[in-house]
């Protein structure tokens, strides 16, 4: 949280999973006449060495651009193999806000085996799964355990990292987060300059406006908004801070998050609980009504 507060939210989420069939492991087991399960320490040491090279590629070699920070944590699967979760914080000039930019670094499609067989085999062995990225209907399939799988079952990956490290390396763009403020009636936060009088402040035209009140108005204006909770609202609507209103979203992926409130805050805490389930209210009274109760 201290890193988030200092440099903002991460841009890429990368999962790096140990591959027990790495050539180094197979060669070691053959030379020592040992089985894979006999030397977990060798597996872990090799994974750590490859992880450090991966971090160097990301941070120093800048394969995704200039990064402000990289943090990771290592966990172990039930079968005993290690994997790492990596968060990458990119410099402002190297962020990729458009779908076209993201397509340059992340793919979720099956390569052409006639053009690059090694690339095709790497995706076949390491990258099965599914998430929401571009998935063209190009009739390419991969056979896994006798089942033909198309682009819908490919986990997002980066071509360079996949081919270099020969392991499951999932690369995902972290969506933007819209922090959602809320308040009890007439208790919205008011900002003003030190040299502005109290009377001038309370007479300001926008004194009764807030992101939360604007949500009520948007629900009254847009029929589609009434199907959403406050948390889900930013996925389909964008907050225009300059004009203090919500408008239908045309592009980009954003998720909402309500500010935390401890139980000791009483009514505000229970308001937050209701905002997680009530859809499309146009007033405080609507928020306090759920399924007619």
With the CA atoms of 238, 244, 245 and 248 taken in that order, what torsion angle do they form, in degrees rounded to the nearest 10? -20
Can you name the CATH fold of 2-106+157-173? Alpha-Beta Plaits (3.30.70)
pLDDT along the chain (293 residues), means of 10: 73 89 89 84 91 92 88 84 90 73 77 81 67 55 70 73 85 77 88 81 76 93 92 89 85 78 91 93 91 84
pLDDT of residue 132: 44
Residues carrying CATH 3.30.70, the chain: 2-106+157-173
Distance (Å, rounded) from C-alpha 255 to C-alpha 240?
Answer: 16
Distance (Å, rounded) from C-alpha 18 to C-alpha 47?
Answer: 6
E strand or H helix that includes residue 59: helix 40-59
């Amino acid at each position: 949280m201290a890193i988030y507060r200092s440099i903002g939210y991460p841009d890429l989420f990368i999962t790096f999973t140990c591959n027990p069939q790495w050539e180094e492991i197979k060669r070691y087991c053959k030379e020592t006449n040992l089985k894979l399960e006999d030397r977990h320490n060798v597996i872990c040491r090799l994974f750590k060495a490859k992880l450090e090279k991966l971090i160097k590629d990301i941070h120093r070699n800048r394969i995704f651009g200039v990064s402000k920070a990289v943090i990771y944590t290592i966990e172990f699967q039930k079968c005993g193999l290690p994997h790492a979760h990596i968060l990458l914080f990119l410099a402002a000039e190297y962020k990729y806000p458009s779908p076209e930019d993201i397509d340059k670094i992340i793919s979720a499609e099956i390569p052409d085996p006639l053009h690059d067989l090694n690339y095709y085999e790497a995706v076949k062995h390491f990258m099965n799964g599914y998430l929401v990225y571009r998935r063209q209907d190009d009739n390419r399939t991969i056979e896994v355990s006798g089942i033909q799988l198309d682009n819908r079952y490919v986990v997002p990956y980066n071509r360079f990292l996949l081919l270099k490290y020969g392991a499951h390396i999932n690369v995902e763009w972290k969506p933007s987060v819209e922090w959602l403020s809320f308040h009890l009636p007439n208790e919205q936060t008011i900002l003003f300059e030190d040299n502005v009088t109290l009377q001038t402040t309370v007479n300001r035209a926008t004194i009764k406006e807030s992101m939360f009140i604007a949500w009520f108005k948007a629900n009254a204006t847009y029929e589609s908004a009434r199907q959403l909770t406050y948390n889900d609202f930013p996925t389909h609507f964008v907050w225009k801070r300059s004009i203090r209103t919500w408008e239908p979203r045309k592009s980009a992926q954003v998720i909402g998050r309500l500010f935390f409130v401890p139980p000791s805050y009483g009514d505000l805490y229970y308001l937050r609980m209701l905002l997680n389930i009530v859809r499309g209210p146009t007033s405080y009274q609507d928020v306090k009504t759920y399924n007619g109760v």
